[in-house]
Amino acid sequence: MIIAAYSVGQYLVVFAAVFLSSIISAVAGFGFGLLSVPLISLAIPLHPTVIVSSVVGLVTNMIQTYRYRRSANLMLVKRICAGAVAGMPLGFVVYVVVSDRVLRLVLGGAVLLAVAALSRGLDLEHMGPGFDIGAGFLSGVLNTSISTNGPPLAFALQARRVEPEPFRATLSVVFTISGVVGMAMFAIGGKVHVDELTLSAVALPAMWLGLLVGFPLRHRFTPGRFRVLVLVLLVVAALAAIIKALV
């Protein structure tokens, strides 16, 4: 029973983490896993955190995909998803065999390097389809290992100078497709249990509240402010991952 597995305090941490992460996801188009995983893992171990974040994140992205589907760049979606599906089996192996600390350190370091490149004005609009497939592959690995698949895709779309609305919509479609595949892998691998599913269900009202707060805030961000928001989110997520690995 979930009541025996988790305390009221753990419930509250998960609820608050999902609420805040949903707001950010609604505004930026990504960031749910980036924020929810380190925050939820303050209350429960990382492996169940990954499942809870994956379940709730999938629902969040399905809602955003339906709402903003007309703005998605379908060519980018196809390329990224091809790479993501290829990377997910490797990510599942990493999830099973690699320690939490190593995963967090690698993620944090890689994201900081990406932010440094973007902040110096990196422009990769000229890159071919292989760039998008590669970003998708890294995203797939991160998706099934630590439920934080946004950084490679945010980096790729920012480096391609994609405008805010297509940026958000494209990521939502990709996250929905990769989320379905990732959850299927977790289920087949026996990593999804009643405790995580029940905790995810309890967190869904927090997700709805977060989206209701976040959606109206989208229009307050010009392309320039949106770019700054993306970079700030990536830095916060990277530092949170590194700090959690070291303490």
Query: Binning pLDDT at 50, 70 and 90, where does residue 246 land?
Result: confident
pLDDT exceeds 50 at position 122: yes
**54-81 mean pLDDT:** 91
Give CA angle at 245 (242, 247), nearest 5°: 105
Is 213 a domain residue? yes
Query: Binning pLDDT at 50, 70 and 90, where does residue 133 land?
Result: very high
- C-alpha distances (whole Å) from 2 to each of 10, 46, 143 are 11, 17, 25
Is 69 a domain residue? yes
Total number of domains constituting the chain: 1
Map tokens 């993306």 to a residue: 230
pLDDT at residue 1, as a whole number? 41
Is 151 a domain residue? yes
pLDDT at residue 136, as a whole number? 92
Is 1 a domain residue? no
Summary mean pLDDT of the chain: 84
pLDDT exceeds 60 at position 3: no
Could you tell me the residue range of the domain that residue 154 belongs to? 6-246
Is 114 a domain residue? yes
For 140-192, what is each residue's pLDDT tens digit? 888 777 767 777 888 888 888 888 889 989 999 998 988 898 888 888 888 78
For 208-242, what is each residue's pLDDT tens digit? 999 999 999 888 888 888 888 888 877 877 887 78
Euclidean distance between CA atoms 209 and 123, whole angstroms: 36
Is 180 a domain residue? yes
pLDDT exceeds 90 at position 28: no
Is 88 a domain residue? yes
DSSP symbols for the chain: -HHHHS-HHHHHHHHHHHHHHHHHHHHHS--HHHHHHHHHTTTS-HHHHHHHHHHHHHHHHHHHHHHHGGG--HHHHHHHHHHHHHHHHHHHHHHHHS-HHHHHHHHHHHHHHHHHHHHTT---TT--HHHHHHHHHHHHHHHHHHS--HHHHHHHHHHTT--HHHHHHHHHHHHHHHHHHHHHHHHHTT---HHHHHHHHHHHHHHHHHHHHHGGGGGG--HHHHHHHHHHHHHHHHHHHHHHHH-
Give percent of the chain above pLDDT 90.
24
- Which of 124, 156, 121, 118 lies closest to 137, judged by CA? 156
Pair 234, 90: CB distance under 8 Å = no
